[in-house]
């Protein structure tokens, strides 16, 4: 009985993260804001960490313990790690170049509002997941809570970065963006296949 409920909670969490990632990518590309791009990559990493949904727990009705399910899970894990490490590295080098050039990025009010909006949405997702984990008491959901909490901390750092840029401290914005991009690389290195 708890298994379908757990999968529903994970599906809602996944859809929420996809929505947040879409906002982060859109604002990051339009505003050319590296903090948003780094936060988007980290959120994508959180999506790729969901083993029940993306790491072959059931692929074409094959459970992960089946050879085919395990094969797909391993391949997806490798591609996930490669994506996060490479894109994180490229973003890190880009931010370092911007910092070397003096980092004069201007943060608009709409960018600031977007940062706090996604932080608020992520807070709701985390709260709902925590309540579900406490009610159902499934160990796997506590792992999801931890992942959501890490994502919320990254979005908090993004809010700090864009706030610093908005009030006239672009270098602080750049340094915060750099920290997030390094964490994206760290996430890619530490990404592992979840246990069903």
- Summarised one tens digit per residue, pLDDT across range 105-163 is 888 999 999 999 999 999 999 998 888 888 877 776 777 788 888 889 999 999 999 99
Phi-psi region of 60 (alpha: psi -120 to 50; beta: other; left: phi over 0): left
Q: Strand, helix or coil at 191?
A: coil
DSSP state of 66: S
Among 1-5, 130-134, 158-162, 189-193, the least confident range: 1-5
**Which residue has tokens 């996944």?**
14
Percentage of the residues of the chain whose pLDDT score is greater than 70? 81
Domain positions in the chain: 2-190
Supply the pLDDT for residue 19.
94
Q: Stretch 15-30: mean pLDDT, rounded?
A: 93
Supply the pLDDT for residue 192.
60
Supply the pLDDT for residue 55.
46
Spatial separation of the C-alpha atoms in residues 182 and 148, rounded to whole Å: 18
Centre a 10 Å sphere on the Cβ of residue 75 and count the other Cβ atoms it contains.
11
Q: What is the pTM of this model?
A: 0.81
């Amino acid at each position: 009985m708890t298994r379908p409920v757990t999968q529903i909670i994970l599906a809602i969490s996944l859809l929420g993260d996809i929505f947040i990632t879409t906002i982060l990518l859109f604002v990051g590309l339009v505003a050319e804001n590296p903090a948003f791009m780094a936060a988007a990559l980290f959120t994508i990493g959180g999506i790729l960490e969901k083993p029940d949904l993306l790491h072959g727990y059931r692929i074409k009705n094959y459970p992960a313990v089946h050879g085919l399910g395990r094969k797909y899970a391993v391949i997806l894990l490798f591609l996930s790690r490669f994506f996060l490490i490479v894109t994180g590295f490229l973003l890190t080098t880009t931010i370092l170049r911007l910092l070397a050039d003096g980092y004069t990025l201007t943060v608009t009010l709409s960018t600031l509002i977007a940062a706090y909006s996604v932080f608020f949405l992520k807070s709701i997702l985390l709260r709902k997941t925590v309540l579900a984990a406490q009610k159902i008491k499934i160990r796997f959901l506590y792992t999801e809570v931890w992942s959501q909490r890490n994502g919320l901390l990254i979005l908090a750092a993004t809010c700090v970065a864009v706030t610093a840029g908005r009030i006239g401290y672009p270098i602080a914005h750049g340094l915060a963006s750099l920290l997030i991009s390094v964490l994206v690389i760290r996430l890619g290195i530490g990404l592992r296949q979840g246990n069903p």
